[in-house]
A and B are shown apart, each in its own frame.
Chain A
């Protein structure tokens, strides 16, 4: 045990009542049981619940409900976060029920799904919540038994006093514990004593998912709810001119047709308020299909929009985003990237004298890499529910950034923040798209106007053509070699439309005496946002392909090449701002080398390697493949991952498998192109996602075992696999793959 102060997160111990009766908290739902396969039948639901703190309540029979604070997007936090609480509370996981907590920024820490940061940022708070509750239970028992609290121990839901042989279940003391003062100090378990964290536990929503329970935003319904859909301009660079509502207003089931402005003109937008078209037409009716039909019938005229500026509220300093006029096309984007790459960029990092070394080089290797715009395409299209009354509002749905959505909705409706309740449903994926919660604002404005509960639904086409894409990227890598084939200088110039991807302080920065990183950006009216491992998803693909080619040119093994550089970064790093730990980075490379049997040739297969650091975690991968008709058949992908303590190993493996499949899909097939401002793909017939026949046959996942507090996992394995794939494809074909998607791309 480690004694720690409970100063951290004390706000979560603010109680809504001393002994919360069954009616006060959200009612029991059978599918929330932690052990989803069999338990519901075995668990007896308590008559009364006693709320110990914001994270948990205990029933009189010892059954525990743990509230999972963060939005669940498929990263499995709804299982892994409660596991951490249960660990420190010291209860049997079989007696745990899990419920999604609502948004409450006072009681909870960072309720956001993004940056692979859910577990890392809440780890201590979750442990503290469980440990404090356990201490309060011990104190309650100590008082009743008239012994000192130190003498009261716990073992999986049972309190004990060795001296007197007294024993009682948590449930017996729950009502008293709820009234005990929050302790000043609590014992946290030693990591070696963990019995839940570090063991595989099944998805708490598993049974609900396989039986089709209404867990998702699109499934949320209330009586009298209306359905709404939007019509947005067909192309970036266009805006609404006029429309004729009369024809469709008389169509069956249609309630209203009007213009919707998402944000007011004088509103200073927050980071999460990205939107492509602020003015849209909304159609409201009694059912999805009636509204959809009316949408197809409505005559709308569009016109070119002028250049504009959007005011953004930054952290500390406000700024403006320029939105140029014009109808952009992919060929224009490519020409622009080539032009920008020729101009000097902004120098982001410079070590030594790279310019001089390039001048003196015996050989300079220069390669260009590109990647296209991508649509996030989570399986569940954007949607949100809103029920707005005169002085309050409830919004419900799938959102990665509920706190920010709450602020935007309150601002737009003119309501105080505490009058807007945000509830999170399970999300059918997000990949970053659901960080931008304009759809919640839109639903709220529609509900306010209709004075009725409303569900706003985006069709797949709406979503794929309404922007907030992964930006388009371009990078030129250069390496200077001397006559002995030593690497003497390294230069990257990376840019993007309209945002750049460069992470200048990551490997190989820190390992090279002469290093130069430049960046550029160029305006576009196509809106962009974070997508799974933002920036990293291009950095890794490009840089790790370049390092592979460089190693080959230098005649060294690609893993050894990286390890040698990392050794330098570890022993004698260049510069101060290197944001990776060279020994952990080397650790995953060594592990993947061993696990894949890198030094023995893979019989009949071509293999490639890559590694990357992002979201504070390290991933190294080896891809084995054969080529068939110009497409790779990936036989096996070996993964070595260092993300600190792994909370729920099998779920973590699932996450890595998914990232690998996604990464291969992105690199091979993902591409959104534009003609005259209009996206050329609007659904999965044009926009290709990876399917069964293209997925790897086998994915091996190995985690580095250590006691480092957990870091991100939802994103880190995604970026490097793209390069490992490209490097393996090169081995098979003799062709390097510089431009994504590899299957065919607009750049070649």
Chain B
């Protein structure tokens, strides 16, 4: 066990965990930030996507001892009230079916739009290809990203 000071959503949190613990489980079990989801644990589905210094990473393979003082942003930290334009676009397109993959999708989409505010269809597909939606909402997500990119 070791003590880590993590900067999550603008606040510092201290956790005492095994250094090999993936950030995913630190967030979920220790910080009660349950919006970041577990889907595969092996960087295949994107359900656990968070931002590390603004870049999308898979928290299931990001170990707590590798974070240092980088800024972690989770879906809970994306906006105060769900008013981030990506979240709003998701509501406008009524994207979700079961909804389980969507926080990871939104985090990937928000990171994409940070880097590339007006992505083409192909750029969206490539950037999002690591996020699985088992319910098959891919077309709506693409629409939502385009909606957000027009704002």
Residues of chain A whose beta carbon lies under 8 Å from any beta carbon of chain B: 36-37, 73-76, 200, 202-203, 205-207, 209-216, 218-219, 221, 227, 252, 287-290, 293, 377-381, 426-431, 459-461, 650-651, 654-655, 657-662, 665, 683-685, 689-693, 695-699
Contact = CB atoms under 8 A, between A and B. Distances in A.
A379 B29 contact: no
A428 B99 contact: yes
B6 to A, nearest CB: 15
B25 A288 contact: yes
A36 B21 contact: no
Nearest to A252: B1
A495 to B, nearest CB: 29
Interface string B53-97: 000000000000000000000111011011000011011101011
B76 A211 contact: yes
Contact of A693 (B17, B45, B74, B126): B126
Most chain B CB within 10 A, of A202, A660, A684, is at A684
Given A426-B99, A683-B42, A692-B125, A293 B18 contact: yes
Contacts of A697: 121
A379 B101 contact: yes
A489 B132 CA distance: 44
A380 B121 CA distance: 28
A684 B132 contact: yes
B18 A692 contact: no
Interface of B: 1, 17-18, 20-22, 25, 28-30, 32-42, 44-45, 47, 74-76, 78-79, 81-82, 87-88, 90-92, 94, 96-103, 106, 121, 124-126, 128-129, 131-142
Contacts of B17: 287, 289
Contacts of B141: 692
B44 A684 contact: yes
Given A212-B36, A216-B100, A426-B99, A651 B94 contact: yes
Contact of A289 (B22, B81, B99, B129): B22
A72 B91 CA distance: 18
Given A289-B17, A293-B18, A658-B136, A427 B98 contact: yes
A380 B97 contact: no
Nearest to A219: B34
Counting chain A CB atoms within 10 Å of each CB, the highest count among B32, B97, B101, B129 belongs to: B97
Given A211-B35, A214-B34, A657-B140, A429 B22 contact: no
Given A210-B87, A252-B18, A692-B142, A654 B101 contact: no
Contacts of B74: 212
A289 B18 contact: yes
Nearest to B80: A211
Contact of B129 (A215, A378, A691, A696): A691
A655 B138 CA distance: 12
A377 B42 contact: no
Main secondary structure of the interface of A (DSSP, over half): loop
Contact of A426 (B44, B78, B98, B126): B98
Given A210-B106, A691-B138, 13 more contacts: A210-B75, A212-B74, A221-B34, A289-B29, A379-B98, A379-B133, A426-B99, A428-B101, A461-B41, A658-B135, A662-B136, A684-B132, A692-B124
B30 A693 contact: no
Nearest to A459: B41
Contacts of B99: 74, 203, 205, 209, 215-216, 426, 428
Given A210-B106, A695-B139, A428 B32 contact: no
Task: Name the residue among A211, A377, A426, A461 with the largest chain B CB count within 10 angstroms.
Answer: A211
Contacts of B97: 74-76, 429, 654-655, 658
Central interface residue in B39, B99, B103, by most chain A CB within 10 Å:
B99
Nearest to A655: B97
Of residues A75, A203, A227, which shows the largest number of chain B Cβ atoms within 10 Å of its Cβ? A203
Contact of B138 (A203, A211, A218, A695): A695
Nearest to B107: A212
A453 to B, nearest CB: 14
Given A289-B17, A429-B98, A665 B42 contact: no
Given A289-B17, A685-B44, A693-B125, A209 B139 contact: no
Contacts of A377: 134
B134 A378 contact: yes
B143 to A, nearest CB: 11
A379 B135 contact: yes
A430 B38 CA distance: 15
Given A205-B96, A207-B82, A695-B139, A689 B132 contact: yes
Given A665-B136, A692-B142, A429 B29 contact: no
Contacts of A210: 75, 82, 87, 90-91, 96, 102-103, 106
A233 B121 CA distance: 45
